[in-house]
Structure 1
Amino acid sequence: MSAPHVSFREFAKLANCDEKQVRRAVTAGKLTPDGDNKLDPALVDSGWRRTIRSSKAVADTPQVSAKSVRTERVVSEDDTPTEAAAKIVIAMGAEHDLKEALRIKENFNALLKQLEYGQKAGSLIELAIARTVLFDAARAARDSWMNWPMRVGPKIAADLGLEADRVTQVLIEHVHSQIADLGEPDAHFEDRQG
C-alpha cells in the first residue's frame, strides 16, 4: 500500500525544494497530480528535477567546438611531478624559477618606489617638460643670435671705418649659415644616464 498523497507544499518539503519548483514541474508534465490535486510522495526520488533536453533546442543551437591545437610534448613519462611542472612552465615562456622571478619582481617594485619618491621629492622631472624647457631655451638662443648682427654690425663698422650696411649684411649671412648648420636641438638623455 502506498502512502497517502500530499499537497504541493508538503511534496516540496519532502523534496527539499521550493513549492514553485513543484508547481512548474506539474505544469511541465514532469509530475502528475491525482484527482484531488495531490502528489504521490513516492515520486520525490523519481528524477523529476532532471532537465529533459529537447531535440529542438539542440538543433537550434549552433555547435561550437574548441579548435584542436597540437603542441609538442615537453614532459616525458620518467619525469617527477616537480620536473614536469618546471618543464611545462619553461615551455610556456617563463625564463626563471620562482625564487628568481620573485627577486626580479621585488627589485622592479623597489625601483618603481624609488622613481615615485624621486618624482614626489622634485628630483625627477618628466621628459616632456624637459624637452619643452630645452626647446624654449634653444629658440631664445637662436632668436638672440638672429638679432645680434643688427645690434653689433654698425658698432663693428664704426670701429673699422667700414660701411655699416655691408658689415651687417655679412654678419647676417654668417650667423644664419651657422644656425642652419646647428639645426634643431636634439637632446639624447638616454645616452647620458649613469
Structure 2
Amino acid sequence: MGMSRRQYAAHRGVSHTAVGKAISSGRISLEADGSIDPVTADRQWDAQTDPAKQRGAHARALGTATAAGTARASAATRPVPRAAIESVGETLREAGADPDPGAGGEVSFLRARMANEVLKAQTAKVKLARMKGELVDRARTTTMVFDLARRERDAWQNWPARVAANMAADLGVDAHRMEQVLDNYLRQHLADLAEVKIDLR
C-alpha cells in the first residue's frame, strides 16, 4: 500500500494540488489501488520535471546533487533525433562547452537547456549589434555593391567614346582608331576585374 496524495505531498515537500497536477499530466503514475508509491513517483517526478521549476525540500536536494555533478541529468535522458543532437553539439561547441552527447545518442535535459540558453544569448548579441548599427543586412549590402559595380562598369565603358577624339587630337592619330584601341583594352581590363569574387560572410 502506497501513500495518499496528501501524504506524498508532505513527503515530497509540495502542495497536494501540485501532486494532483503531476498525476493528471502523467508525470507520475498511481498504483492499482489509487495510492502513490513514493520511490517510483520520486523517480518519475525527477525525470520528467524541469529542475529549474521544481519546488520543495526534495527539489533542493536534487539541485544540490545536480550542482555537484550531472549524475541526475544522465539518468533523465530521452532519445532525440540525430539532427537535434548534432545541433545541440554544434551550439555547445561554438560556446566552448563539451559537445559530446550522452551514451546511446541521448541528450540530457540540462545539456539541451544549456544549448537553448547559448542560442538565446547569441540571438540577443546579434540583435544588440544590429540595433547599435554594427551589423548590416547581407542581401541589401550585396545588392548595393552589385549596383555600385555596375554603375562603375557602365561609366568606364562610355569613357573611350567621350575622350577618344581629344586624345587623338593631342597625339595626332585617327580618332576612330583611337576609340577602338581604347575600347578594346578597357573591355579586357573590365573582364579581368569581373573575375574578382566578393564573399560577404
Task: Please identify which structure carries the higher helix content.
Answer: 2
TM-score range, shorter chain: 0.3 to 0.5
Q: Bigger radius of gyration, 1 or 2? A: 1
> Normalising to structure 1: TM-score of the pair?
0.47
> Normalising to structure 2: TM-score of the pair?
0.46
